[in-house]
Copies of this chain bind each other. A is one copy, B any other.
Amino acid sequence: MRIALLQADPTVGDLAGNAARLLALVHQAVEAGASVAVSTELGITGYPPRDLLMSPEFVRAAYEKARSIDPAIPTLVGTPVPGQDDDTAPANGVLGVGEGLRGKVVALKQLLPTYDVFDEARYFRPGSRPGLVRGAGGLDLGITVCEDAWQAAGLTPMDYGVDPVAQLATFVRQDATLSATVNLSASPFHQSKVHDRVTVARTAAERLGMPFLLANQVGGNDDLVFDGSSVAAWPDGTVVLAPAWSEGVLTVDLDDPAACVWTPSAAADALHLGSNEVRVLDPGESPRSQNSAEDLADAVVTGLADYCRKSGLQRIVLGLSGGIDSAVAACVAAEALGPSAVHGLALPSRHSSQHSRDDARWTATSLGMRFSELHLDALHAPAEGLLDEVLRTGHAVAGENLQARLRALLVMGHANAEGAMAIATGNKSELAQGYCTLYGDMAGGYAPLGDLWKMDVYALAEVFNARAEARGQPAPVNASTMTKPPSAELAPDQVDEDTLPPYPVLDRILRAHIEEGLDHDAIVARGEDATVVADVLARMGRNEHKRWQMPPAPRVSVRAFGQGWRMPLAGRHDWRD
């Protein structure tokens, strides 16, 4: 028996488009010999629909659209399920459509994650029993929705007091007709996520004594990026892993892991990055064989590509300083939209070095994107003239920011004139320190590197260089860009280390604080210098205002339960006294 996992890339809110996408994937599943198909969580709305779910009209429209799907084989579709009236919250459910299922609700999600990027208790009422469908393509299947399966593996941040996998196991002991249990997921990417997802699937398969099949969403929606990597696990620990960063169908042969087939989506706009191959893991084998930086590169490219496609944006403009961040951002944009859709602007000022100008031009030329150079002097001098008095008497930062804002003015002028989106090129390390200019280099509709630490940006430069060389093209990030001391070049001979600790140190401290939640003393106990840690944390507090005005960035380096960008809006005062 073959079950197809529809690893789709839906667009939040595009009910008709998502339904059409699901039907097309079911068609491919039929050709691959599947007798049942399973969508991802909330496959009809895309995940996360957020406050769209506050509209009863939207919930009803989604539910009716899901019910209207008429697939060639029985299919389980993730959909919001309306409450009994408009005052009752919907459930996060699963609908059976196609032969023998006829639009019946077969599962309601029980565990509603409400932490980090999740807010499901805001939107949904929980289900109260395990999902189940009988006679779907001749099979009886257990059904879980995403978080439902994570409690059993101990990978949720709290104990829900309910374990849907254990409930199903009890049920199986009483009535042994189930062939497999499926899971409809929308499980966002972070760097160790594939490992966790495989652990969840193996744990559930072992507890249930049957294959456990998890269909995960792929692609980007707003600031969330999903890697796909749908997974099937058997009770002995054998695992079949679908590719990451690609839309398609994993057709799982319940009796033969080696016979599982990956069919890439035939949609014209389908996402296809990465290896595009199924991997079979032996019992006990870890899934962490891929290069982590390759994965990060695919994540940020996916995020930007889907953000643009789903928002109807076809062109990108960015400033190229000759530094590592804008060079890597240009690589991301060129891979996401194709180099001909990207326009790089070098905007040197009197403080810019010749090597920076050369490096900027090199990156654009190597990538094959459009390149322009406009010298800032013609604007810089009159702006300083107009602001002469305050620049002489006020804080020095005003003059430094002036250059960054003049550049933003020119980037946005090009973006507006060309109907393109400007992207911001900052990374998470400098943004967390406020080492950036509001309405200057922070300007842009999207910040592709905004959730990457500075050291990750260096690693991505290596990835994009290697990819270019593998295509027989010149490496877009010059060796000099990689090795020169990072500098904002906003004042003569300025380097970042005048203000910040060296990036390897800064990244260690920020990761400990943001990803692990450690405070000053705990970080110092790891061997960091107490003054440096105090300075870093103080800069974080002072720059909260800036962080909240950041354009969206794909979430890629946030570990499970980490705070990421969702820093408290309030809390300007230290509460530890």
Q: Name A's B-contacting residues (CB within 8 A).
A: 11-17, 45-46, 48-52, 54-55, 57-58, 61-62, 87-89, 114-115, 119, 121-122, 157-159, 221-222, 310-312, 374, 378-379, 382-383, 385-387, 390-391, 393-395, 397-398, 401-402, 405-406, 408-410, 412-414, 416-419, 438-439, 443, 445, 517, 519, 545, 549, 551, 563, 566-577
Select which of B61, B157, B519 is within 8 A of A87 by beta carbon: B157
Q: List 20 A-B contacts (CB under 8 A).
A: A13-B575, A50-B568, A51-B566, A52-B575, A57-B519, A58-B571, A114-B121, A115-B122, A378-B386, A383-B413, A386-B410, A390-B413, A391-B417, A394-B418, A395-B418, A398-B417, A401-B412, A402-B413, A405-B412, A549-B551
Are A88's CB and B158's CB within 8 A?
yes
Give chain B residues whose Cβ lies under 8 Å from the Cβ of A89: 158
| In the bound complex, CA of A22 to CA of B416 (Å) | 52
CA distance A70 to B15 in the complex (A): 58
Residues in B whose Cβ lies below 8 Å from that of A397: 416
Closest CB of chain B to A298's CB: distance in Å? 22
Complex contact B405–A390 (CB within 8 A): no
Please give the distance in Å from A562's CB to the nearest CB on chain B.
Answer: 11
A54 partner, pick from B62, B519, B563, beta carbons under 8 A? B563
Q: How far does the alpha carbon of A119 sit from the alpha carbon of B121 in the complex, in Å?
A: 9
- What is the oligomeric copy number? 2
Q: What's the Cα separation between A405 and B439 when bound, in Å?
A: 9
Q: Are A417 and B405 in contact (CB under 8 A)?
A: no
- Whether B378 lies near A382 (C-beta < 8 A) is yes
Contact B391 A409 (CB under 8 A): no
Contacts of A62 in B (CB 8 A): 575
Residue from B115, B405, B577 within 8 A of A409 (CB atoms): B405
Given known pairs A61-B576, A114-B121, A397-B416, the reply for A570 and B48 (CB within 8 Å) is yes
Residues of B within 8 A of A14 (CB): 572-573, 575
CB distance from A396 to the nearest CB of B (A): 9
Contact check, B416 vs A394: say whether CB atoms are below 8 A apart. Answer: yes
Closest Cβ–Cβ distance, residue A194 to chain B (whole Å): 25
Contact B115 A49 (CB under 8 A): no
Given A87-B158, A412-B439, residue A15 in contact with residue B122 (CB < 8 A): no
Are B16's CB and A577's CB within 8 A? Answer: yes
A491 smallest CB distance to B (angstroms): 14
Q: Which residue of B is nearest A88, CB measured?
A: B158
Do A439 and B570 touch (CB < 8 A)? Answer: no
With A410-B387, A413-B391, A566-B51 known as contacts, the answer to whether A571 contacts B12 (CB < 8 A) is yes
For residue A17, which residues in chain B have a CB less than 8 angstroms away from its CB? 573
Asked if B412 and A409 make an inter-chain contact with CB atoms under 8 angstroms apart, the answer reads no
Beyond A52-B568, A378-B385, A549-B549, 18 additional pairs, beta carbon < 8 A: A11-B572, A45-B575, A50-B568, A54-B115, A57-B519, A58-B575, A87-B159, A88-B158, A114-B122, A221-B570, A222-B570, A383-B409, A387-B410, A390-B414, A391-B417, A393-B417, A409-B409, A439-B443
Residues B395 and A417 in contact, CB atoms below 8 Å apart: yes
In the complex with contacts A61-B576, A409-B409, A419-B438 CB distance below 8 A = no
Residues of B within 8 A of A52 (CB): 568, 570-571, 575
In the complex, which of the residues B13, B87, B439, B545 contacts A408, with contact meaning CB atoms closer than 8 Å?
Answer: B439
Bound-state CA distance A52–B566 (Å) is: 10
Q: Report A291 CB to chain B, min CB distance, Å.
A: 31
Contacts of A55 in B (CB 8 A): 517
